[in-house]
Amino acid sequence: MNLKVDEIIGHVGEVLPESRKKRGILIHAFQKIQKEYNFLPEEELRKLSKNLAIPLSDVYSTATFYKQFYFTPRGKKIVRVCTGTACHVRGADKVLDKIKDEFKIDEGETTSDLAMTLETVGCIGCCGLAPVATINEDIVGEIDMKKVEGVINLIKK
Ligand code: FES
């Protein structure tokens, strides 16, 4: 990746200041790296820094600006328990606690085998199905203490 910025983004680059051009390329590169690794490994960020001639500190400050980028390995399954108001009122905390206990991790953590990352999220717009969790792109609703076992099995699959 030793192309000049203008070669990468074409004539659009003529009207953009150098800093904006590089920032745009960085974000695109972060997305590609994260798609491949599920997070942004330091080694890849160092390569980017070198290839684009951008200080590593600038690479990191750009990446950390966006919540969508991660700096530690993430699980194959991303489980998000909604803790929005409707889900909270209908027992989201119990669901969350049960999943934490089962996998021996806290929210924001990933299992040591990288099978699952557990997160919480605000309302995901399915309040009528509260309490709700997502497993990657799938939504599971009306999770009572009986159903949470099924959710755990789905996560383990
Ligand atoms: S509060 Fe959980 S889906 Fe709306």
Q: Is 126 in the pocket of ligand 1 (CB under 6 A)?
A: yes
Ligand 1 centroid–CA 45 distance in Å is 36
Q: In a 3-state reduction of DSSP, which class is residue 1?
A: coil
- Please identify which residue in the block is written with the tokens 């792109």: 137
Span 91-112, pLDDT tens digits: 999 999 999 999 999 999 999 9
Span 9-52, pLDDT tens digits: 666 556 667 777 777 889 999 999 999 998 999 999 999 999 98
CA nearest to 121, candidates 89, 82, 77, 70 = 82
C-alpha radius of gyration, the chain, whole number: 20
Phi, psi for 146 (deg, rounded to 5)? -75, -45
Ligand 1 centroid–CA 91 distance in Å is 11
Mean pLDDT, the chain, integer: 90
- pTM here? 0.76
**Structural domain spans, the chain:** 5-65, 77-156
CA nearest to 105, candidates 84, 86, 79, 129 = 79
| Pocket mutation for ligand 1, best pick of 119, 127, 142 (most atoms within 8 Å of C-beta) | 127
Q: Domain 77-156 adopts which CATH fold?
A: Glutaredoxin (3.40.30)
Q: Are 110 and 117 in contact (CB under 8 A)?
A: yes
